[in-house]
Amino acid sequence: MDSNNNIRNQCDTAETPPRRSFLKTAAVGAAFAGAMLMGAGQAHAATTWKIQSVWDAGTVGYDLFEDWCNGMEEKSGGELVFKCFPAKAVAADSNSLFDSVRSGVLQGMNPFTLYWSGKIPASVFLSSYPAGPDQPHQWDIMFYSMGMLEKTREIYKKFGLFYVGPIQHDANIIHSKQPVNSLEDLKGLKLRVPGGMVAEVFQAFGASTVSMPGSDIFPALEKGTIDAADYVGPAVNWELGFSQVTDYILFGPPGVMSIYQPVDLMDLTVNLRAWNALDPKLQQLVEDEVRIYSQKHYLTIQKRNVEAMKKFKDAGDTVSRLSQDDVDEWRRRAIPIWYKWANKDEDARAIFDIQVEYMMNDTVGYIEESDLEGVPGR
């Protein structure tokens, strides 16, 4: 206020301020303006999240995820940066990935949701399971329209995590050395599967199951350690060379690639403290972008699947399909195992109950009341 009065007085008396005084005043003003700009810049400095995917570098899955992460800075106006890493780059395995996000070493992860069934039993119902909902849109309906997303977030919060949303990936299919034309052909088959509920249902049909990392599947098939292997879809399995060590591919009925893991979901999960520290507008941006990315990821993989199946056929591989009768029998055997897993804890049961209600609705019609009569644990 005093400075303004002095300047005003000098103007009123028609006195010209000395040049040195003017420069000094200008310099102070410039310094003040610079400090203000610096402070504004600090207030809006970019938040950087380190996010590790379970995709290996060089795969179509990681390329897609990396492109999406790289676009976040521009979409957020420079306020949020996603620095992505491929599998094992920071956390060496699934357990350390989970712990790294909980502790804040990483701010986020892009896993297959089913990985956490040993830590979060409910997660076995956050991706498809044997004879459950088998269409991608059904999972989006349950997550975004029937309260499953909100319930999932409640569960993950107990672990210091925030489940942003599901990411559609693909179905899992089986490659085998010998033809599998029906459920009867599973008897005695040495089969690689993920374990858990999936393994238990295959065992119910007489298959001998083993769990192993994806990187071990090709040599196991080549050596004859296993007769068949489930893994992801045609696009990735072609790149892994499965056609070189197997001759047959097993699908479900027309329109259903798989009856045991038809919608193998991934997700984006982040550290809860990191999420809560984010501006609500940026939180909404991340949620919206996950839904957009989910569609892009799924559609790109499906296009690659179509191209890969032509390559498999040209290489001489034969496709077999299970019948609708096989699906009905598969579901009959699977239902008691559903309830076994649903009753592991109250959170698993809460998620499962949403899905049973949906599957029993006439718009879906997968199960009826008669299918559940006498099921243990119901």
**Residue 120: helix, strand or coil by DSSP?**
coil
- Tell me the three state secondary structure of residue 11: helix
Q: Which CATH superfamily is domain 173-261+317-368 in?
A: Bacterial extracellular solute-binding protein, family 7 (3.40.190.170)
Query: Between residues 24 and 289, which one has the greater pLDDT?
Result: 289
CB 217 within 8 Å of CB 156: no
How much is the pLDDT for 67?
98
pLDDT-derived band at 201 (thresholds 50, 70, 90) equals very high
CB-based burial, 187-199: b 16+ in 10 Å, e otherwise: eebbbbbbebbbb
Do domains 47-167+265-307 and 173-261+317-368 share one topology? The answer is: yes
Look at residue 214 and tell me whether its pLDDT is greater than 90. Answer: no
Residues annotated within a binding site for substrate: 172, 192, 230, 261
Domain boundary assignment for the chain: 47-167+265-307, 173-261+317-368
Looking at CATH, the fold of the domain delimited by 47-167+265-307 is given as D-Maltodextrin-Binding Protein; domain 2 (3.40.190)
User: Tens digits of per-residue pLDDT, 29-61?
Assistant: 444 444 444 444 444 689 999 999 999 898 888
CB atoms near residue 299 (< 10 Å): 11
Over range 119-142, report the average pLDDT. 96
Q: Which residues are annotated as a binding site for Na(+)?
A: 231
Q: 29 exposed, middle or buried (CB, 10 Å; 0-12, 13-18, 19+)? A: exposed
User: Which residues are known binding-site members?
Assistant: 172, 192, 230-231, 261
Residue 216 CB contacts under 8 Å (≥ 6 apart), including other chains: none
How high is the pLDDT of residue 289? 98
Residue 356, C-beta contacts closer than 8 angstroms, at least 6 positions apart: 367
